[in-house]
Amino acid sequence: MVGSSWDRVPIDSQSIDAPLSRAAVFLTLTVAEGRESLQAVAGVLDGLDDLIKTV
């Protein structure tokens, strides 16, 4: 990865087009600067879909 990962185009939030359901999950994170922080968050999020499937 060349350069800083923070030097990218801003991403706009997506609007919610469907009504909320009981199964909706919203996750908001603040990640500290640095590759190690991004790797830590990526590691946690990597297994999130498995957790949701078992709930």
Dihedral over Cα of 36, 42, 46, 49: its sign? positive
pTM of the model: 0.44
Dihedral over Cα of 32, 1, 9, 46: its sign? negative
Cα angle: 41, vertex 17, 52; to 5 degrees: 40
Q: Where are the domains of the chain?
A: 27-55
pLDDT of residue 36: 94
pLDDT of residue 52: 61
Q: Is-contact 17 29, C-beta < 8 A?
A: no
pLDDT of residue 32: 92
Element (H, E) at 44: helix 35-46
**pLDDT (tens digit, 0 to 9) for every residue of the chain, 55 residues total?**
455 556 677 777 777 777 766 776 677 888 899 999 999 989 888 877 776 665 5
